[in-house]
């Protein structure tokens, strides 16, 4: 039924897209203006004055987390290979219960702006802060590269502007939010984006299922009829079982080490609100991944694989294409604008968390030994934001045309192996030491980078080699245990009495909060 490839207006200037896009920019800049007037202290700049409610933070966490890569990428992957997309969807969701059970409440009670606050509690500030800032900036950099290059390609495809114009405009608008409106503006941009993205995906899902009597099994059956029953079964994404397991570990434990996600728990008033916010986020993100799965199958059946591949060989345009099939250029324009909003919200969160590492961890805690005038703190925070905004734009331009899909996996691997073990050990283990924390973060981060550099992704796919030194695409199965083992071993070899003695106070504050 899909012998002819249907025409698409994707990539041509689209009036609806431009109108929705302008409306979104106007609304979010309005929010930024309002937020800027309320942003007078570092606490407001980095933590929204701890004034965000649990439910609001749940929506903002969802908006911070659901990237264009997961909306367009998973819908695309499902549209081309069916079932395999579910491996990613479930993996990206199961990190959230881990965040709730192990991290959210202790983090809120122990820290101020960054996860380094928690790791360095009762340990020596300077070495731990430097190591944690390295872990943070590594994750932020790889995530930013993936987002900026994705943004450039996406906006070029959707609006027909040049790649460089797309990257610079994302960078400049994002910088306006973060620089002037800080965490308050970033939070509300993320909430607006989460509502738009969930609403857009729900609308597409309803329109898709309406064609199948609202019975997903009829949609899946139709897909199996058209493309074979293998679309309902594991395919080439799991050709090597160990790859699937290692990726699963990175996804499950990486979320709990993502600095821009962890930072959001400081925006709520107390640990109870932090708890409620993960509850909301898990619900919203789970619904979102179920919907992308339906949408992917919808695109496979209603748009057809040939048409999806003709527009983009990665399949990334499956969701916009099904919007066009179901609702014409109007709906296509709306979804294109939503995808743009999605990128802006994620990039803003990343930039703010990188700026917190630079200014709060490195400048204030390490360089100024924790004693910097309030005006200076805010000025350095804004300066760090500008630096990161410019770095984001440059990274986007430098990596133009590169295949950066693996960078998201890399960011999750570093987060899971460098940040997560140190965070868990510092919260739950009395015997953890300064040396253990530094060794754990540095080893986990460097080992992830080294193993990815010699992985099939780099050595075969990117460099065109015959074989790779390390057999797996994602190193997490080796590097997460390594991060834990190094942290524990170094702590056992050189115990730190002052840190051990201070654990009682830490445990008390972890449970009771700040009294």
Q: Which positions touch another protein (CB under 8 A)?
A: 83, 86-87, 89-91, 93-94, 96-98, 100-102, 105, 216-224, 229-230, 232-234, 238, 241-242, 244-245, 248, 252, 272, 275-276, 278-279, 282-283, 286, 289-290, 293, 428, 504, 507-508, 510-512
Least separation, in Å, of the C-beta of 92 and another protein? 10
CA angle 71, 74, 77 (to 5 degrees): 145
- Cα–Cα distance for residue pair 118/426, rounded to 1 Å: 7
Least separation, in Å, of the C-beta of 227 and another protein? 13
- Cα–Cα distance for residue pair 271/110, rounded to 1 Å: 10
Ramachandran quadrant class, 373 (left: phi over 0; alpha: psi -120 to 50; beta: rest): beta
**Tokens found for residue 120:** 């360095």
Q: Which H or E element spans position 237?
A: none
Q: Which is nearer to another protein, 183 or 198 (CB)?
A: 198
Three-state secondary-structure class, residue 370 = coil
Q: Which is nearer to another protein, 147 or 255 (CB)?
A: 255
Least separation, in Å, of the C-beta of 228 and another protein? 11
Q: Which is nearer to another protein, 295 or 510 (CB)?
A: 510
Q: Which H or E element spans position 270?
A: none
Least separation, in Å, of the C-beta of 217 and another protein? 4
- Cα–Cα distance for residue pair 241/358, rounded to 1 Å: 39
Taking alpha carbons only, the member of 329, 320, 339, 344 closest to residue 16 is 329
Cβ–Cβ < 8 Å for 483, 417: yes
Ramachandran quadrant class, 213 (left: phi over 0; alpha: psi -120 to 50; beta: rest): left
- Cα–Cα distance for residue pair 93/218, rounded to 1 Å: 26
Least separation, in Å, of the C-beta of 262 and another protein? 17
Least separation, in Å, of the C-beta of 260 and another protein? 21
- Cα–Cα distance for residue pair 314/72, rounded to 1 Å: 10
CB-based burial label for 226 (10 Å; 0-12, 13-18, 19+): middle
Q: Which is nearer to another protein, 43 or 84 (CB)?
A: 84
Q: Which is nearer to another protein, 236 or 313 (CB)?
A: 236
Q: Which is nearer to another protein, 276 or 419 (CB)?
A: 276
Helix/strand number for the chain, H first, E second: 23, 0
Least separation, in Å, of the C-beta of 59 and another protein? 16
Least separation, in Å, of the C-beta of 208 and another protein? 14
Least separation, in Å, of the C-beta of 504 and another protein? 7
Q: Which is nearer to another protein, 58 or 171 (CB)?
A: 58
What are φ and ψ of residue 213, in 5° steps? 50, 30
Q: What is the per-residue DSSP string for 336-352?
A: HHHHHHHHHHHHHHHHH
């Amino acid at each position: 039924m899909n012998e002819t490839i249907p025409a698409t207006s994707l990539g041509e200037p689209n009036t609806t897209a431009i109108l929705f896009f302008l409306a979104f920019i106007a609304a979010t800049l309005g929010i930024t203006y309002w937020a800027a007037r309320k942003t007078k202290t570092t606490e407001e700049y980095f933590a929204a004055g701890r004034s965000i409610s649990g439910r609001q933070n749940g929506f903002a966490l969802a908006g911070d987390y659901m990237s264009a890569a997961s909306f367009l990428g998973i819908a695309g992957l499902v549209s081309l290979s069916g079932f395999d997309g579910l491996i990613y969807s479930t993996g990206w969701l199961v990190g959230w219960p881990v965040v709730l059970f192990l991290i959210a409440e202790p983090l809120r009670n122990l820290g101020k702006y960054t996860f380094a606050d928690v790791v360095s509690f009762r340990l020596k500030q300077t070495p731990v802060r430097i190591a944690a800032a390295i872990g943070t900036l590594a994750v932020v950099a790889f995530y930013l590269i993936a987002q900026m290059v994705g943004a450039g390609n996406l906006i070029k495809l959707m609006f027909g502007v040049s790649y460089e114009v797309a990257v610079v405009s994302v960078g400049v608008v994002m910088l306006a939010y973060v620089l002037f409106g800080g965490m308050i503006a970033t939070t509300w941009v993320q909430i607006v984006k989460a509502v738009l993205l969930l609403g857009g995906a729900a609308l597409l899902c309803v329109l898709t299922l309406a064609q199948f009597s609202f019975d997903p099994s009829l949609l899946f059956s139709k897909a199996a009829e058209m493309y074979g029953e293998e679309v309902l079964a594991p395919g080439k994404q799991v050709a090597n079982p160990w790859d699937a397991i290692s990726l699963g570990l990175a996804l499950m434990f990486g979320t709990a080490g993502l600095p821009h996600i962890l930072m959001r728990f400081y925006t709520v008033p107390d640990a109870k609100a932090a708890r409620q916010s993960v509850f909301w986020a898990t619900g919203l993100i789970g619904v979102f991944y179920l919907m992308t799965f339906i949408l992917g199958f919808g695109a496979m059946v209603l748009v057809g694989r040939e048409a999806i591949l003709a527009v983009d060989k990665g399949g990334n345009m499956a969701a916009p294409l099904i919007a066009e099939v179901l609702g014409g250029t109007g709906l296509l324009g709306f979804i294109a604008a939503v995808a743009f909003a999605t990128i802006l919200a994620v990039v803003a969160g990343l930039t703010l968390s990188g700026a917190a590492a630079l200014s709060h961890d490195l400048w204030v805690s390490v360089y100024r030994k924790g004693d910097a005038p309030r005006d200076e703190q805010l000025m350095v925070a804004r300066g760090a934001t500008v630096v990161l905004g410019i770095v984001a734009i440059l990274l986007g331009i430098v990596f133009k045309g590169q295949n950066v899909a693996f960078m998201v996996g890399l960011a999750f691997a570093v987060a899971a192996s460098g940040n997560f073990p140190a965070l868990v050990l510092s919260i739950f283990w009395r015997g953890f030491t300064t040396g253990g924390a530094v060794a754990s973060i540095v080893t986990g981060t460097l080992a992830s980078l080294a193993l990815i550099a010699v992985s099939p992704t780099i050595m075969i796919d990117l460099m065109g080699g015959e074989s790779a030194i390390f057999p797996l695409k994602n190193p997490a199965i080796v590097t997460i245990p390594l991060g834990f083992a190094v942290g524990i071993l170094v702590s056992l070899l050189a115990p730190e009495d002052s840190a051990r003695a201070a654990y009682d106070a830490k445990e008390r504050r972890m449970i009771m909060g700040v009294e």
